[in-house]
Amino acid sequence: MNIRKLKFYHFRNYDKASFSFEENGIHILRGNNAQGKTNVVEAIYFLSLLRSFRTSKPNLMIKHDEEMMMIEAQIESKERTEDLKVVLSEHKKQLFRFGQPVSTYSSFVGSLNAILFCPDDLMLFAGAPSQRRKFIDTELIKLSKTYTATLSHYQKLLKDRNLALKSTPVDRALIQVYTDQMIEDEKIIIKQRHAFLKDLIEKSQSLYPFFDDGKEVMDAVYKTFVPIDENLEQSLKEAYATSLSKDLFYKTTQLGIHKDDFIFSLNGVPVIESASQGQKRSVLLSLKLGLAHIVYEKDGQYPILLLDDVFSELDEGRKRTLIQMLPEQMQIFITSAEPIQTDWFKRKVFFYTIENGTIKEEVHERNE
């Protein structure tokens, strides 16, 4: 998958901007801080998931004193060219594919598959379980429409069940109806999360030694509220039956996949307890590259890889290793405020200087 063209209109600090990118190339966006490097990466990510990794309020992406913004891209996927466009105003979001309006998010998300690394990802280890669930769910949503629909249905059922628990008088029969439906959804979600994490860790474990010379072993454990075995459905029924009195007392659902967690470790010790910043970045990069390989196996093409400020707190050896590990059939965007040595690259690489919302492509190109 590649982005061939990218256009902005009133996006962040850009008034108007237009880019053309080479397929399977590494594109280095260089410049001082607060000049607009990360904005380019954010725009690509927004086209992938229709949300920003920098703000929960999309309207903040609209250029100051403007009423709307537009992001437009021409992407190439499996030798087919497709046009994507998002127009965002304060009260409305309009989506377009092939120049035609798209009415639902699910019909748009996944057209462009982008995997992101950014400094805030380090909170994956120190943050609340909700951040680790979001990490897993975000990737599964892009990979599986069944997972997307099931998770959305479960979230609605959970909301309805909690409302039923708060009602007076309590309708136990209605609560049981919601519970039975939630169990059906949870069987699917738990199995998919478990299988996905197993696959991700197997791939990431094979990549991590390149960063630490094989001194450590990374792993992860999926923590849910029932054993994941052939008796999953029965375990779910028993867990909800046991928890019902507590649910009624607290007037909210006390257990479920909305409280799951994923614990990442090095040599059996949780990353948050012992890993340095460099080790955390190495684990994250292994996970992100592992995700890219999962996408390739499922879809037959690599996603676009977005690396925002990836070189901070990595020594030169790890920086070189990272560049060498990037698949040659993958289009990659890297932002950096630091100098980058051109001899790290053995493939097509293109440099751009970004200053105050303007972009200038540099002449240098290396292709060996």
The annotation status of 33 as a binding-site residue, yes or no, is yes
Instruction: Give the helix, strand, coil percentages of the chain, each rounded to 5.
Output: 45, 25, 30
CA atoms within 13 A on the CB side of 180: 6
**Does the annotation place 126 within a ligand binding site?**
no
- Token code pair at residue 368: 């060996």
Tell whether residue 2 is among the known ligand binding residues: no
End-to-end CA distance of the chain: 22
> Is 92 marked within a binding site?
no
Do you find a cis peptide bond into 169, omega within 30 degrees of 0?
Answer: yes
Neighbours of 177 (CB within 10 A): 15
Q: Do β-strands 332-336 and 26-30 pair in parallel, antiparallel, or remain unpaired?
A: parallel
Give the other-Cβ count within 10 Å of 166's Cβ: 10
Q: How far is CA 137 from CA 30, 114, 194, 265, in A?
A: 32, 15, 12, 20
Cα separation, 351 vs 338, in Å, equals 13
Q: Is 25 annotated as a binding-site member?
A: no
Residues in the chain: 368
Residue 365's closest CA among 7, 25, 3, 24?
25
Q: Is 39 annotated as a binding residue?
A: no
16 is in an annotated binding site: no
What radius of gyration, in Å, describes the C-alpha atoms of the chain? 22
Smallest Cα–Cα separation from 12: which of 45, 58, 56?
58
Q: What is the DSSP letter of 183?
A: H
Q: Give the long-range contacts of residues 226-235, CB within 8 A, separation 24 or more.
A: 226/190, 228/190, 228/191, 228/194, 232/187, 232/190, 232/191, 233/183, 233/187
Is 35 assigned a ligand-binding role in the annotation?
Answer: yes
| Secondary structure of residue 167 in the 3-state scheme | coil
Annotation: binding site for ATP: 31-38
Annotation: binding site: 31-38
